[in-house]
Structure 1
Amino acid sequence: MKKISLFVSSLILLLGTTQVLAQNADEVINKYIETIGGKQKLEALSSTKMELVANYQGMEIPVEVSNSKDGKMLVKINLMGKEMTQVAFDGVSGWSTNMMTMKAEKMASEDIENMKNTATRDFPDPFLNYQQKGYKAEYIGKETKEGTECHKIKLTKLPQSINGEKIDDVTFYYFDTENNVVVMSEAEIKEGPMKGQMATSKMSNYQEVDGIYFPFTMNQFGQEMTVKKITLNSAIDSKALEFKAE
């Protein structure tokens, strides 16, 4: 009987701990959503257009990133005075410019499938109504990142297709405990020469745009990016998304 009682007590303790962690995850996420503008304003967004400058080896490269609620995405860069489309996705199919040949190429079927899974679900924020999207959030605990105390949340999204295999899509997010905003994210690279390494993104300098807060300073793979302007609810040019074969 003592062994059974001990087992039951341990089970209750385990379930109780799990419930507390789940509750903490939602508390952190809810504070974050409220801090950056609130659920109602985020749900009302139809699109975002971000104009930024990426610093690459001392060279400033203008970049324009547009996303919409219906899954459209357009990424344009200006390289030495020449504008080119880096990513164009209309919600169904997509294409990009091969930086070696400088020619337009249609996206592979796996890339299209992955974009379909995330394009609408992650707009305007993956944490907005995350449970309805089929995502799972887990509270890991507190951790200090670059001198800032953070809540660490593990977000598991829908699996990605990588070389014919379904791979869990997991990202760790760090929320500043004082300001309730995301300051860093980490995700394992699934393919390519850097496979297995952690891709780290940093976000700071949050500023308000029409009642919603966005990070205006970002760093990805050590590359600094500074946002110059953000425009909300402007339509993405459908012609710019059309495949342009040469």
Structure 2
Amino acid sequence: MFYRLMFGLLIVAFISPAVHALTVDELVTKNAEARGGLDKIEAIKTLRLQGQVRVAGDFGSIDLGLKQIKKAPDSVRNEASVQGLTQIEVWNGEQGWRIDPFQGRKTAERMTDDDARGLADDANIAGPLINYKAQGNRIEYQGTEDVDGTEAHKLKVTLKNGDVQTVYLDPDYFIEIRTVSQRKVRGTEVEDTSDFGDYELVDGVYFPFSITTHTKGQSGQQQITIEKAEANADVEDALFAFPAKAGSTP
């Protein structure tokens, strides 16, 4: 009887991982719970982030002040400043525009759809996993993959616009630790890898305060460090609207 019992326990031990394999929806639910809970995530309608971004490359490195403002459902405004100059890039849910004094352009210009894709993909406050079906996204679970020594859960997310993000979740905490984003820009595939860390609570929801991004095929990287965050502050829609007059900055 003892040997039969042990044999039965061994069978259960070997088949349990397959029986209890996590589904896409289970992983998405665990991710939402780990970040603070679906209700708290959905309650955040605006998000203001402030910090620094260090851009490094063959030229050396440069530090810029960074501001990011997001407003639900899908508007985002990024500002990068140094030596009195401020670059502005905006996606307002329908179109993108920019002011880029670093390239000698001091008036607002509309962005092409391809150039704005990265902004549009990043505009949702909750990210691509939360309420992914309502966003029009599709997710496939692709098992686990090593991410700097961690066997992370790998999710292939196909966004509504066709862009693909591969999201890696920590196996213990189910928080995003890496995202690989792929999109077509003027017929060329662009692949960005972003690593996330230093998660901090903002109105009960965890957001990464450290983000390192590298573009495949390019030297260097950018390191974002968030120093201040505020949720649900009043944010005027005018911040995302294309300026009515040339040269004006909302």
Equivalence map 1:45-60=2 (5 Å) = 45-57=44-56, 58-60=61-63
Say which SS state the counterpart of residue 158 (structure 1) adopts: coil
Residue matched to 2:30: 31
Cα separation, partners in 2 of 1:116 and 1:220, compared to 1, 3 Å: closer
Q: TM-score, normalised by structure 1?
A: 0.77
Cα separation, partners in 2 of 1:49 and 1:117, compared to 1, 3 Å: closer
Distance 1:75 1:28 in 2: 30
Cα separation, partners in 2 of 1:134 and 1:189, compared to 1, 3 Å: closer
Residue 154 in structure 1 maps to residue 153 in structure 2: no
- 2:172 counterpart (143, 159, 178): 178
Residue range with higher mean Cα deviation, 85-94 or 143-152: 85-94
- 1:74 counterpart (72, 77, 97): 77
Compute the displacement of 1:32 (Å).
0.6
Structure 2 unmatched ranges of 5 or more: 1-19, 215-220
Distance 1:197 1:133 in 2: 23
Deviations 1:139-160 (A, max 9, x none): 000111111120000001113x
Residue matched to 1:134: 136
Query: CA RMSD of the aligned region, Å?
Result: 2.8
Residue matched to 2:126: 124
Letter in 1 for 2:133: Q
Equivalence map 1:83-232=2 (5 Å) = 84-98=86-100, 99-108=102-111, 110=113, 122-159=124-161, 168-191=162-185, 195-196=188-189, 198-221=191-214, 222-232=221-231
Check whether the contact 2:91–2:116 (CA below 8 A) recurs between aligned residues.
no
Cα separation, partners in 2 of 1:55 and 1:192, compared to 1, 3 Å: farther
Cα separation, partners in 2 of 1:109 and 1:217, compared to 1, 3 Å: closer
Deviations 1:58-92 (A, max 9, x none): 3221110111114332111112233x242134444
Q: TM-score, normalised by structure 2?
A: 0.76
Counting matched residue pairs gives 216
Check whether the contact 1:189–1:199 (CA below 8 A) recurs between aligned residues.
no
Structure 1 unmatched ranges of 5 or more: 1-19, 160-167
Distance 1:113 1:183 in 2: 24
Compute the displacement of 1:130 (Å).
0.6
Distance 2:52 2:208 in 1: 14
Check whether the contact 2:47–2:233 (CA below 8 A) recurs between aligned residues.
yes
Distance 1:88 1:225 in 2: 18
Say which SS state the counterpart of residue 143 (structure 1) adopts: strand
Compute the displacement of 1:124 (Å).
2.2
Residue matched to 2:246: 245
Check whether the contact 2:95–2:116 (CA below 8 A) recurs between aligned residues.
no
Distance 2:224 2:103 in 1: 23
